[in-house]
Amino acid sequence: MLLLGIIISIGFVLFGIGGGIALFISPASALIVYGPALALILAAYGGKGLGLVFKAPFARNMIKEDIKKSINVYKDLKLYLILWGWVGMMIGLILMGARFDNLKALGPGLALAIVGVLYGYLSAYIVCYPIQRRLEQSEVD
């Protein structure tokens, strides 16, 4: 059900975007948001913590210690994604300021800025938060 809920949420977002989905695809924004967020998980929790990011949503019968660690990993990942989304916003605004003499160059900088924040929040609350909550529920059971 977790995966189904995430897929349905993403589907609603894509439906709301409509035909202009290409405007929301930015490899530069994705690199700015996801790369450092995962690197900080690696720095904070080591390779096992990074592995839990990809293992925990699909694992069955995890030991209590791994569940607790996974919850903390997802709480931190959620914060890191939002943080790096805002850093992407600042980078985009700096790019806009550096090119202020060329009005045509402002659009791509603004798009980079806004899409990074969007990636951060969507990833944090459509992916990370439901996984975190599922892990918290499994810890209680």
pLDDT digits (tens, 9 = 90+) for 98-133: 877 877 777 777 877 899 999 999 999 999 999 999
pLDDT of residue 52: 92
- pLDDT band of residue 82 (cuts 50, 70, 90) is very high
Beta-carbon contacts of 75 under 8 Å, excluding residues fewer than 6 positions away, are 132
Domain that holds residue 113: 2-140
Give residue 59's pLDDT. 85
Give me the pLDDT at residue 106, please. 78
- Cα 38 to Cα 59: distance, rounded to the nearest angstrom: 20
Q: What is the mean pLDDT of residues 75-94?
A: 94
Predicted TM-score (pTM) of the model is: 0.88
Cα gap 62→135, rounded to integer Å: 10
Dihedral sign computed on CA atoms, order 63, 132, 115, 13? positive
Domain total in the chain: 1
Nearest-angstrom CA–CA distance, 40 and 81: 10
The pLDDT confidence band at residue 30, using thresholds 50, 70 and 90, is: very high
- State residue 9 phi and psi, 5-degree precision: -60, -45
Mean pLDDT confidence for 63-69: 92
- Classify each residue of 102-118 as buried b or exposed e, where b means 16 or more C-beta atoms within 10 Å of its C-beta: eeeeeeebebbbbbbbb
